[in-house]
Amino acid sequence: MSYTEVPGARVPIRMWTDPATVEDVAMQQLRNVSTLPWIKGLAVMPDVHFGKGATVGSVIAMQGAVCPAAVGVDIGCGMSAVKTSLTANDLPGDLSRLRSKIEEAIPVGFSMHDDPVDPRRLHGLPTAGWDEFWGRFDGVAEAVKFRQSRALKQMGSLGGGNHFVEICLDETNSVWLMLHSGSRNIGKELAEYHIGEARKLSHNQGLVDRDLAVFIADTPQMAAYRHDLFWAQEYARHNREIMMALLQDVVRKEFKKAKPIFEPVISCHHNYVAEEQYEGMDLLVTRKGAIRAGGGEYGIIPGSMGTGSYIVRGLGNEASFNSASHGAGRRMSRNQAKKRFSERDLADQTRGVECRKDRGVVDEIPAAYKPIEQVMEQQRDLVEVVAKLKQVVCVKG
């Protein structure tokens, strides 16, 4: 489908879904965002749903300003995937050992590595700029600096919620490795600190929603936020790189006879800010629950833990600010999912997938998400499908 434009807003709200299907609270969030004086456009993805601060599945283009709450607290959250030379025939009938080995190598939930991971000891991982990256930690907000030790040990760890590591098969039965994570606790701490600082600023006092507080260009507060924002986005990218290297090491050891080969890694943020130009304007584009889908650019759009995911190539649609959805998108809250579904429902909906099937992950049950096929159909003018993947192993935080 092409987009639908919502009337009555200060700037165009272009929606790649039927506006009538969007929750009232999410639609109000979108209208609130459209009232900001600095906004130049708003694109809404088919996986749109209500979120803290700003709507998940929204792309906000502003000139000379950025809203930290619209980025979200998991700065730089995103996906990585790699195709391997393995096929379904190389996989054992019982995948439980493989899942256990992945969980041993990559800490999940609140866990972290006992000692920081040394990237120089990981096979094939580029380490150029590593020391310079950590050197820039000295410039982050003073209130967060005491977290450096934790940030070092959490580098290369998964986290919880909807973060995951998966072994997947594509439609040709090739094996793919895929993972989803972000900037861990350090990104959350930096985000919460700057959201609090933005709320104090005088120009934000009359906003319709205090969560939409912004930093304005050429101010010390904006400079400080940009430093920490881009550092946290880089942390998230490094975090996924290290996890992918750890995951590849597991696969090399478990499939030693097959001597697996790995293609180049595809990686994309879906909670972040980028400096981009549209219609001759230099804009700060915030994607919260959206990936960049410029012409020919690869991206990853996951479904749920029992459905499947897509590797895509962007079509460069400027009406969406070169963006596409970041996944299936929730259609009910975590609490609603826990009340509505049981462990038996989870087992039924993840049949054939080696994964946790206990009460602790019922909130991630596939039925809590929108159908990924529907989401993909609604954005045919944003991306083209390169590969469809179906997980056979899923490690959840």
* Buried b / exposed e along 127-143 (16+ C-beta atoms within 10 A): eeeeeeebeebeebeee
Instruction: Give the span between the Cα atoms of 301 and 308, in whole angstroms.
Output: 9
**Pairing outcome for strands 309-314 and 383-396:** antiparallel
42 φ/ψ angles, rounded to the nearest 5 degrees:
-145, 120
* Options 163, 194, 270, 326, the catalytic residue: 326
Instruction: Give the span between the Cα atoms of 391 and 302, in whole angstroms.
Output: 10
Instruction: Give the span between the Cα atoms of 142 and 122, in whole angstroms.
Output: 32
Residue 326 annotated to the active site:
yes
Return the closest-CA partner of residue 191 out of 56, 58, 61, 71: 71
Helix, strand or coil for residue 270?
coil
Helix, strand or coil for residue 224?
helix
Q: Distance of CA 57 to CAs 96, 123, 287, 288, 329, Å?
A: 34, 35, 8, 6, 8
Catalytic residue ranges? 326
